[in-house]
C-alpha cells in the first residue's frame, strides 16, 4: 500500500518539495507518493479535509496557508511547540488517534543546515536575525536550543523587531536558556559585530539592499540568506566584507527531511538530494 502525502499552497507550481520527497522515498525504500496541490485562497480548510477524507497521511504547507494550518490543527488535534512558538505550521501529520498534528520544521532545517552541512558552531556565537516577520518567528526556538551567546533581531521598524524579541523572550524563559535577546532597527546595528547573520527578510525577491552597515560582519562570520537559487544583495554585501556566505537551499532540504522523519520515522541522507537540487538550479 502506498501512503499519500503532498505540499499545499498557492501558488505551488514552483515547489521543489515533490522532487525532494521522491528522492527521500527512493533512498529509504518508503512506499509513498508525494504531489503538489493548489488550494484556492479561500478554500484551505475544505481542501485539507478532502485530502484527509481521501486517505492522505500528511501535508507540507507553504505560502500563504501556514497560519491557517496552525489554526486548523488547534481545533482538530494538537499543536507541537515549534509550531506554537512560530505561530505557523509548515507540516501537518494526520493521526488516527490524535487527529491533526501541526509542527514547524523550518527552524530545525535551518539549524541542521548550519551545524551539519556548513559545519558552523552556533553555540556561544553572536547571532543577528534580520527581519521580524513570520520567517523569523519560525526559526527562533531551534536557534535558542542551539545555545548561542546572544540573539539580536533587527527590522526596518522597531515594532516588528520588538514583537519578535518578545516571542524570543518567551522561548528563552520556557527553555530555561541563558540566551540574551535584543530588538534593533537596522540603523542601530552600527558599531555591533556578529558571528552569524541570518537574513529572513524577502528583500532578495526584489533585489533590494538592506540598510545595514558593512561593519557588522565579524571576522569568520557566516552570512546566511534564507532565500535560495540566486545571489541576493545581502549575500553580495557579506561576500565583499569577507564573510562565508550560504543560501537557503540546505534549509529547504533539511526542513523537508525533518517533515519526512515526522511522517515516516526514517531520517534520509540529505547531501545527495541537496546536490541534485543544486545541479538542477544551475
Q: List active site positions.
A: 66
What angle is formed at CA 47 by the lines to CA 41 and CA 52, rounded to 5 degrees?
Answer: 155
Number of Cβ within a 10 Å radius of residue 119: 8
Contact present, 118 and 149 (Cβ < 8 Å): no
Contact present, 142 and 116 (Cβ < 8 Å): no
The Cα–Cα gap between 129 and 111 comes to: 13
Contact present, 154 and 186 (Cβ < 8 Å): yes
The radius of gyration computed from the CA coordinates of the chain, to the nearest angstrom, equals 19
Strands (E), 134-236: 150-155, 180-185, 194-199, 217-225
**Residue showing cell 533512498:** 27
Residues with Cβ within 8 Å of 121's Cβ and at least 6 positions away in sequence, in order, are 115
Cα distances (Å, whole numbers) of residue 154 to 81, 199, 200: 24, 10, 10
The Cα–Cα gap between 267 and 178 comes to: 30
The Cα–Cα gap between 108 and 256 comes to: 10
Amino acid at each position: 500500500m502506498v501512503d499519500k502525502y503532498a505540499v499545499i499552497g498557492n501558488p505551488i507550481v514552483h515547489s521543489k518539495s515533490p522532487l525532494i520527497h521522491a528522492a527521500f522515498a527512493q533512498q529509504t525504500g518508503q512506499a509513498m507518493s508525494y504531489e503538489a496541490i493548489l488550494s484556492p485562497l479561500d478554500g484551505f480548510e475544505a481542501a485539507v479535509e478532502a485530502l484527509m477524507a481521501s486517505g492522505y497521511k500528511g501535508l507540507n504547507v507553504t505560502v500563504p496557508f501556514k497560519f491557517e494550518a496552525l489554526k486548523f490543527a488547534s481545533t482538530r488535534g494538537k499543536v507541537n511547540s515549534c509550531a506554537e512558538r512560530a505561530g505557523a505550521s509548515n507540516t501537518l501529520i494526520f493521526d488516527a488517534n490524535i487527529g491533526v498534528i501541526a509542527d514547524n520544521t523550518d527552524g530545525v532545517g535551518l539549524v541542521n543546515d548550519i551545524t551539519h552541512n556548513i559545519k558552523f558552531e552556533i553555540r556561544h556565537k553572536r547571532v543577528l536575525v534580520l527581519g521580524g516577520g513570520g520567517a523569523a518567528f519560525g526559526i527562533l526556538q531551534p536557534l535558542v536550543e542551539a545555545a548561542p551567546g546572544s540573539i539580536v533581531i533587527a527590522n526596518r521598524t522597531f515594532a516588528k523587531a520588538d514583537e519578535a524579541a518578545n516571542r524570543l523572550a518567551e522561548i528563552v524563559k520556557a527553555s530555561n536558556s541563558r540566551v540574551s535577546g535584543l530588538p534593533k532597527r537596522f540603523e542601530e546595528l552600527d558599531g555591533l559585530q556578529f558571528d552569524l547573520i541570518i537574513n529572513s527578510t524577502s528583500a532578495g525577491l526584489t533585489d533590494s539592499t538592506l540598510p545595514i552597515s558593512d561593519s557588522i560582519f565579524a571576522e569568520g562570520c557566516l552570512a546566511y540568506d534564507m532565500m535560495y537559487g540566486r545571489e541576493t544583495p545581502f549575500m553580495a554585501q557579506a561576500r565583499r566584507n569577507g564573510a562565508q556566505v550560504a543560501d537557503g537551499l540546505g534549509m529547504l532540504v533539511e526542513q523537508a527531511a525533518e517533515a519526512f522523519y515526522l511522517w515516516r520515522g526514517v531520517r534520509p541522507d540529505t547531501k545527495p538530494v541537496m546536490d541534485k537540487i543544486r545541479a538542477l538550479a544551475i
